[in-house]
Structure 1
Amino acid sequence: MKITRRHVLALLAGSAAAIGVPSIWLPRMKTYSGPPSDHFDGLHFVDPDGSSPKSIAQVLRWQLGTARQRAAWPAWVPSPFTDTPPPTVTGEKVRLSFVGHASWLIQTSGLNILVDPVWSMRASPFRFAGPKRHNDPGIAFDTLPRIDVVLVSHGHYDHLDVATLSKLAAKFSPRVITPLGNDVTMRAADVAIKAEGFDWKDRVALAGGVAVTLVPTRHWSARGLFDRNKALWASFVLETPAGKLYIVCDSGYGDGKHFRSVAQAYGRLRLAILPIGAYEPRWFMRDQHMNPSDAVKALADCGAQAALAHHHGTFQLTDEAIDAPVIALGEALDEAKIPREKFAVLKPGQVVEI
């Protein structure tokens, strides 16, 4: 196939969220500068137990290959649910509202915490192209309660949405806790975003006895053509009065080491939030996104009492059908002889309380 400028533009727009491929017309990104460590060489971050991101040649092979089988999603799949959260949740209860994709509102101890908030219509560096929402956020932005803290896991466009962060900064001025380097990205885009960068294993006290620790995860990060792995990526362990929540926004499975390490380091987990979507084709996505079978193994490895699924059904980032992750999760749970209710799937706007 002859690759034209039109092909390249379509590739960049369609792949930006899932794999961090940006527009060649975007400016060079400001990046993190700090002392070397076992996972930072002074310029790039690396997961010693992970793998390198795919090359541009591999991206082209996936996107433009003649053997590609990309399922068609319905143009719009509205959720039958919508949530209007209370101003706060106190006591020993935790209220989790699924906004969609990897976005959650977690309320506990008088704190309102957003995870990877994306209210934009597209998860893309472009306003006119790239993965587009197939349903509305489960909470209308104007009905959000006061937001105290935002957790942003990494820099891919379906997780770090500058437009949403700017709106949150203007309305609530929350703390934004994120892995090293993503704070640089946020402040470069909007100085009003109160971003704080932290390393793996840093524990950040919030309020009311709630704290969050950034933990290694099998992924990578990029927003521009020249910034691959120049910002860190992480999962979160959130300490709440109801127990510890393990929030995995994006991760491959590998050999499961990251999940077993969390179980060993942080003890009993009350709940895990695990991704189940954006996984096909496996030759390309295996190292960065779990499929439902991997997610079931991750649940067993981390030892959480229960799990909630996310990262599916809102943005079409990869090739599987819109309902494939939910169907495959049920089959994987049955095969592992795990009750389906132990690993629940919500629609945007649905709520779980623990």
Structure 2
Amino acid sequence: MSYLKAAQRQNGKFLNPVPTHFTSGRDMLRLLPEFLFGRRKREPQPPLPHFRTEKHWYNQPPESGMRITWFGHSSLLMEIDGFRLLLDPVWSHRASPIQFAGPERFFPPTIALSDLPPLDAVLVSHDHYDHLDETAVRGLADRNVRWVTSLGVGKYLRRFGVPAERIQEMDWCDRLKLTSTRTGAELELISLPSRHFSGRSLFNRFGTLWASFVLRNAQRNLYFGADSGYWPGFAEIGAEYGPFDLTMLEIGASNPMWESIHLGPDRAAEAHRALRGKVLFPIHWGLFDLALHEWREPSERLLQLAPQMGIELWMPRPGSPTEFQGMPMQSDWWRQPSAAAQRTVTELLTAGG
């Protein structure tokens, strides 16, 4: 049985590639006291320093050909052999439909949207507020770049100001070849199934598609997992499209009650191996309080698992454009560096230009 096929619908709603359990309202009510009163352990204490991305750092291309700036959670700027791709950009203060309530950022955006370097494309994996952000879309809508997203999500991009002719929606297993108008560099995107859901309210769940993506060119083969629970399709993706130089998989916002739609560190490690990944880049953590675990727990747990499972990790500091050379790297930024130490790092990066 192959899991790699176009998305299916039932009664007008998209279906997951395998049967998937969703937490009931009664289950969520049981968790409500912990949500309300356990907040302190789920947020950095003391607050994190203000990580910064200086725009002039992008004046020079990466020596290795590939550089990634992780802005926290699942927001990334990937420079891949001359092609610049921005993934799931979230710049709002809260991952919420309203900006006076909901999960707040642990640290401000590391760079203004207007200071981002010229882009070739923006990829939005699905419509949840921690991946599709109105502030970011409106701030980038007047740039002459391609917008790539999953089926149905284009309506939000158009509502937020992106011209329809610049939007490409993808079904599972669709392929799209992009060419940079700046450099002529090429990048192929392949949209693949993931095990998750969609919806920007309680009343429109499953109305748009969610997906993971292969990003590749002649030199690189990368996997962006976006949001997904564990499922047998990881092994099929690895067999069909792997091995991957880098897998970007979610480790945060996890809980045993919703393990069918989120990985967490243990399942991310298993997925990485099933995908035939060489190096694992953990994403979807470190910026918002979206679950019940202590905020550093996903990263610390993954650090325990990695040597036991023979997994190499790539864990950059937020906001720092970091070259990926196929080797593991760990910054330990979440272990509360002092403001003075952060200033020293910024000064060193600035001097290195």
Q: TM-score range by the shorter chain?
A: 0.7 to 0.9
User: Distance in 1 between the 2:110 and 2:38 partners?
Assistant: 30
- Tell me the equivalent position of 2:171: 199
| Residue identity in the other structure for 1:212 | L
Q: Within 5 Å, give how 1:102-117 maps onto structure 2.
A: 102-117=74-89
- Tell me the equivalent position of 1:315: 288
- Tell me the equivalent position of 1:346: 316
> 1:105: how far off?
0.3
| Residue identity in the other structure for 1:343 | L
| Residue identity in the other structure for 1:39 | Q
Aligned partner of 2:209 among 232, 239, 243: 232
Aligned partner of 1:180 among 120, 141, 151: 151
Structure 2's unaligned 5+ residue stretches are 1-5, 180-184, 326-353
Q: 1:327 to 1:65 in 2, by over 3 A?
A: closer
| Residue identity in the other structure for 2:259 | R
What SS does the corresponding residue of 1:264 show, helix, strand or coil?
helix
User: Distance in 1 between the 2:177 and 2:265 partners?
Assistant: 33
User: Distance in 2 between the 1:66 and 1:118 partners?
Assistant: 23
Q: Judge conservation of contact 1:246–1:273 (CA < 8 Å) in 2.
A: yes
> 1:224: how far off?
2.1
What SS does the corresponding residue of 1:97 show, helix, strand or coil?
strand
| Residue identity in the other structure for 2:9 | F
Q: 1:98 to 1:239 in 2, by over 3 A?
A: same
Aligned partner of 2:25 among 56, 60, 66: 56
2:74 is the alignment partner of 1:74: no
Q: 1:62 to 1:95 in 2, by over 3 A?
A: same
Q: Judge conservation of contact 1:210–1:240 (CA < 8 Å) in 2.
A: yes
> 1:97: how far off?
1.2
Q: 1:203 to 1:127 in 2, by over 3 A?
A: same
Q: Judge conservation of contact 2:64–2:323 (CA < 8 Å) in 1.
A: no
Q: 1:205 to 1:322 in 2, by over 3 A?
A: same
Q: 1:210 to 1:317 in 2, by over 3 A?
A: same
2:9 is the alignment partner of 1:40: yes
Q: Judge conservation of contact 1:92–1:241 (CA < 8 Å) in 2.
A: no
| Residue identity in the other structure for 2:303 | G
What SS does the corresponding residue of 2:71 show, helix, strand or coil?
strand
Question: Deviations for 1:238-260, whole angstroms, at most 9, x for unmatched residues?
Answer: 01343111001111114xx1211
- Tell me the equivalent position of 1:329: 302
What SS does the corresponding residue of 2:167 show, helix, strand or coil?
strand
User: Distance in 1 between the 2:59 and 2:51 partners?
Assistant: 23
Aligned partner of 1:168 among 140, 159, 172: 140
User: Distance in 1 between the 2:121 and 2:42 partners?
Assistant: 36
| Residue identity in the other structure for 2:108 | D
Identity %: 33
User: Distance in 2 between the 1:270 and 1:66 partners?
Assistant: 37
Q: Judge conservation of contact 2:51–2:110 (CA < 8 Å) in 1.
A: no
> 1:67: how far off?
11
- Tell me the equivalent position of 2:224: 247
Q: 1:93 to 1:77 in 2, by over 3 A?
A: same
2:267 is the alignment partner of 1:267: no
| Residue identity in the other structure for 1:101 | H
User: Distance in 2 between the 1:50 and 1:177 partners?
Assistant: 27
Aligned partner of 1:137 among 95, 98, 109: 109
| Residue identity in the other structure for 1:150 | V
Q: Judge conservation of contact 1:309–1:346 (CA < 8 Å) in 2.
A: no
| Residue identity in the other structure for 2:236 | S
Q: Structure 1 stretch 79-88 or stretch 195-204: which is displaced more?
A: 79-88
Aligned partner of 1:98 among 41, 59, 70: 70
Cα RMSD between the aligned structures?
2.4
**TM superposition score normalised by structure 2:** 0.81
Aligned partner of 1:158 among 130, 137, 158: 130
